[in-house]
Amino acid sequence: MAPSKKKHAKSQACVIPGGFTVLSLQFSSGSVARHSLYVKEHRVRAERSSRRPLDRTLFVLNVPPYCTEVALVHLFSQFGSVESVELRDHPGSFQESGPKLSRFFKPAEKQVDLCFGYVVFQNSSSIPAVKSHPHDVPLVVCTEQRPVKTGIQKWIQQYTDTFIQPDKLQEVVDSFMKDYDERKEEEAERQRKEAEQQQEDEDGWVKVTRGHKGAKARPHSEAANQRTLQKEMRKRKRKELMNFYTWQHRNTQKEHIAELRKKFEEDKQRIALLRAQRKFRPY
C-alpha cells in the first residue's frame, strides 16, 4: 500500500480577532480540563510608566484565581527571564503615588474569579516567543517542583498569613519611619534654600540670578506663594482704609457745599431786602 501523501499540519499559534494569542493552560499534567489565556503585547501610548516598558510587557487576560504571580513567573520563564509580574482586578494605568506600603498596611484584596496581568520580560525577544507558542501544547501550572495550593490548603495558608510577627512588623515600621524622616528633612532643606533664594531686602526687592544656559524656569515655591498672598492681603487692607477715609472726606465736602448754598440763599434774601429799602449800595 502506497504511503499517504497527506502531510500532518504543523501546530501553530492560535490568534483571535483583536490581536490576542490564545495559550492553553492546564492545572496539572493529569488534568483533563483546560483553561485559555489571552495574551497580547502591551502597547499603550498614553502610559509613560517605567514599570511597563512598551517593548517588553505582555498583557494577559482571563487569568484564573489559582494562578498567582509566582505561578505566572514560572509559567512564562520558559520564554525568557521575567522581570516582574503584576495582577489586577481590572486593566488600567500604573499609578505611583506616595511611598510603597508593606502588605501589613494595605487593605485586604478582594477575591475575583478572573483577573488581568502584566508580565514584564528582561528581553524584548521573549514577546514573539510567547506569541508563537503552539495552542495544542498546554502550559502546566502545578508540578512536583512548583506545587500550587488550592482548596482547603490554600485557605489554611491564607489564614496563617494573616498572623503578623511582632519583630517583622517592628522592622517594617522602623524602615517606613526612617524613610519618612528622610523625606521630611529633604523637603525642609528644599524649602529653606528656596526661602533664602527668594528672600526680600529692606526695600522689598527680591534678588534674581541668571541661571545657566538652557535652564528651565523655576516654579513658584510655597514660601513665595505665601509672601505674595500676604502682600495682597496688606494691599487690600490699605485700599479698604483709603476708601474709608475717602468716604469721610466726601461727606465733609457735601456738608461744606450745603453750608455754602445755605449762606448764598441767606445773602440773596438780605440783598433783596436792602434793594426794597433802597439801601443797597454795592459800589
Q: Is 207 inside a domain boundary?
A: no
Q: Is 201 inside a domain boundary?
A: no
Q: Is 208 inside a domain boundary?
A: no
pLDDT at 62: 87
> Which ranges of the chain would DSSP assign to H, the alpha helix?
69-76, 126-131, 151-161, 166-197, 222-276
SS3 category, 21 = strand
- Please list the pLDDT of the chain residue by residue as tens digits (283 residues): 444 444 444 567 788 888 888 998 888 888 888 888 898 888 776 665 667 888 888 988 888 888 888 888 888 988 989 998 888 877 765 555 555 666 666 665 655 567 888 999 988 888 888 888 888 888 888 888 888 877 788 788 878 877 878 888 888 888 888 888 898 898 888 888 877 766 655 555 666 656 555 555 555 566 667 778 888 888 887 776 666 666 677 888 888 899 999 999 999 998 888 888 876 666 6
Angle at 245 between CA 239 and CA 251, to 5 degrees: 135
Q: Which three cell numbers stand for residue 185?
A: 528633612
pLDDT digits (tens, 9 = 90+) for 218-234: 555 666 677 788 888 88
Output the domain CATH number for residue 119: 3.30.70.330
Q: How many CB atoms lie within 10 A of CB 121?
A: 23
Residues 17/66, Cβ–Cβ less than 8 Å: no
Q: Is 172 inside a domain boundary?
A: no
Count of domains observed in the chain: 1
Residues 36/150, Cβ–Cβ less than 8 Å: no
SS3 category, 118 = strand
Domain hosting 33: range is: 14-154
Between the alpha carbon of residue 37 and those of residues 67, 78, 84, 93, 205, the distances in Å are 11, 16, 18, 21, 66
β-partners of residue 206 are 200
Q: Is 235 inside a domain boundary?
A: no
Q: Is 232 inside a domain boundary?
A: no
Q: Is 92 inside a domain boundary?
A: yes
pLDDT digits (tens, 9 = 90+) for 233-250: 888 877 766 666 666 778
> The whole model's pTM is what?
0.53
Q: Is 19 left (phi over 0), alpha (psi -120 to 50) or beta?
A: left
**Cα–Cα dist 83/52, whole Å:** 10
Q: Which three cell numbers stand for residue 275?
A: 434793594
Q: Is 61 inside a domain boundary?
A: yes
Burial string for 135-162 (b: 16+ CB within 10 Å, else e) reads eeebbebbeeeeebeeeeeeeeeeeeee
